[in-house]
Chain A
Amino acid sequence: MKLGVLFSGGKDSVFACYRAMEKEDVRCLITLISENEESYMFHTQNIGLAELVASAIGIDMLKWRTPGVEERELEDLREAIVEACRLYGIEGIVTGAIESVYQSSRVQRICSELDLWCFNPLWQIDQPDYLRMLIAHGFRVIVTGVFAYPLDESFLGAEIDREMIEKLERLQKRYGISPSGEGGELETLVLDGPIFRRRLEVLRAERLFSNNRGRYVIESARLVEKPTN
C-alpha cells in the first residue's frame, strides 16, 4: 500500500515512518509548516529541519504552509493530503499520534472523507517502553524544546538516553508529565536511525530558556555520510 507520513522530523513521526516502511510502501512525507507557534495540530519547533531529516531518510517531502489557525489548520491539512494523493498516488496516511484523541480524530475524519486508510502505529503505546524502544532500534533523538515545569534548560540539546528516560519516568510519577511529551511538554529532533541513509550533525545551536519554557534553536546543521556495512 502506498502511504504518506505526516512528518515533523521529531521522534514520533520518524518512528511511525519506520514502522510504516517495515510493513508498507512509504512514498512521501507531508509536512505542515505552521506560522503559529501555538499550533493545536502541528509540531512547530525547528520545523525547517524536517526537510533535512527527510533528505537523510531519502524520501520525498511535500511542504505545505498553514497560518495555523485552529480548525482552519484542518482544511490546510486536507489540501496537503489531496496534493500528496495527486503527486504520489498514496492510498493512506500515517501519523505519530500516541494519546491525543483530538489530533487522531481529526486526521481520521479527513482520511475518511477522502476515502484513505489511516494508520497510527504508536497509538496507546506505553511511553517509557516506547522511548526505550527508540534507543534499542538505534534512533538518536535530541530534545529541542521544553514547555512545562519541571523540565529545565539541562534538557535542551540533550540526547534521549536511558538516564533521561529514568528521569522522565520520575517526573511523570511526581508531576504527571507525559514522558514522551504527548501533552506538549517537550519536542524533539531525530539525528540518526536505522532508516537514515545519512545522519544529521548540529553545527551551531543556541539555548533559549525562560519562564519554564525553552528552545534549542538549531542555526546550522548538515548531513553526514554514514559508514556502509
Chain B
Amino acid sequence: MILVLDLCYRDGSLSRYEFVDPVANALRRAGAEIDVLHYRELDDPSGYDKVVLCGTALKDRCCIDDAQKFSWIRDWKNPMLGISTGAALICSILGGRVLPDIHIGMEDVRIIGETPLLGEPRNIPSFHLHSFRLVLPSELIAVAENCEAFVARDRPIYGVLFNPEVRNRWILERFVKCEL
C-alpha cells in the first residue's frame, strides 16, 4: 500500500485537485493500491510500503513551517518519493537548506547519475512549479544538475523538484513497479 501525502495548506483544500489527485490517479493507473491522507491527519506511516510526498501551490509553505510533523522521515527505510515541495521537505528534514528560487514552466532536467527510479544520465523535458533550490545534506546525492533530483545514499528515498504527474508519469509508474 502506498501512502500519498497531501502537503497542501489544509485538508480538502482547493489545491488538492491540482497537486494530489493527479499523482494519486497516476499511481492508481500504474496498478498501485493507495491511501491519500493530509499530513496533519497522519499519526503513524509505519504500516505503508511506500510514501509519496506531493507538491503544493507556489505560495503554500504551510508544511515547511510544520516541519516537526515530518520528523519520522529521519528514520524511514522504505521507498519514498518527494515531489516539488515534498522534495524540499525531505531535504530540509535531513539537514539540507531550502533557498528561494522561482522556477515555472517546461525545461529540460539533466540527469547526471544513474538510479533505478530515473534511469541513466540524459536530458528529460520536465514541468517545473516550485519556488526554491536545494542545498543537499551529506546524506543526499544529486542525481540531476542543480539538485533538481536526488537520492539518499543508503536508502530508497528520492526527491524531484519537477512535477512528474504533469510530464514524465513513467517516474510514478516506476516508483510503483520497480525494486528501488
Task: Give me the interface of A with B, judged by CB distance under 8 Å.
Answer: 19-20, 23-24, 92, 94, 101, 105, 108-109, 111-112, 115-126
Contacts and interface: CB of A to CB of B under 8 A. Distances in A.
Contacts of B14: 19-20, 23-24, 94, 119, 121
B57 A123 contact: no
Interface in B119-160: 127, 129, 131
Contacts, number: 61
A200 to B, nearest CB: 26
Contacts of A111: 58
Given A116-B59, A118-B58, A121-B14, A105 B106 contact: yes
A105 B104 contact: yes
Given A108-B129, A112-B131, A117 B59 contact: yes
A101 B166 contact: yes
A112 B58 contact: yes
A39 B170 CA distance: 33
Contacts of A94: 14
A92 to B, nearest CB: 8
A41 to B, nearest CB: 15
Interface residues of B, number: 23
Contacts of B22: 123-125
30 contacts: A19-B14, A19-B17, A20-B14, A23-B12, A23-B14, A94-B14, A101-B106, A101-B167, A108-B58, A109-B104, A111-B58, A112-B102, A112-B104, A112-B131, A116-B59, A117-B58, A117-B59, A118-B57, A118-B58, A118-B59, A119-B57, A120-B17, A121-B18, A122-B17, A123-B18, A124-B21, A124-B22, A124-B25, A124-B166, A125-B22
A197 B61 CA distance: 36
A105 B166 CA distance: 12
Interface of B: 12-15, 17-18, 21-22, 25, 57-60, 102, 104-106, 127, 129, 131, 165-167
Contacts of B105: 101, 105, 108-109
A6 to B, nearest CB: 14
* 7 A-B pairs with the lowest CB-CB distances in the bound complex, closest first: A124-B22, A105-B105, A121-B17, A23-B14, A123-B18, A108-B104, A120-B18
A125 B106 CA distance: 19
B161 to A, nearest CB: 15
Given A101-B127, A105-B104, A115 B18 contact: no
Contacts of B106: 101, 105
Given A101-B105, A117-B57, A119-B57, A126 B15 contact: no
A111 to B, nearest CB: 7
Contacts of A92: 59
Contacts of B59: 92, 115-118
Contact of A119 (B18, B127, B129, B131): B18
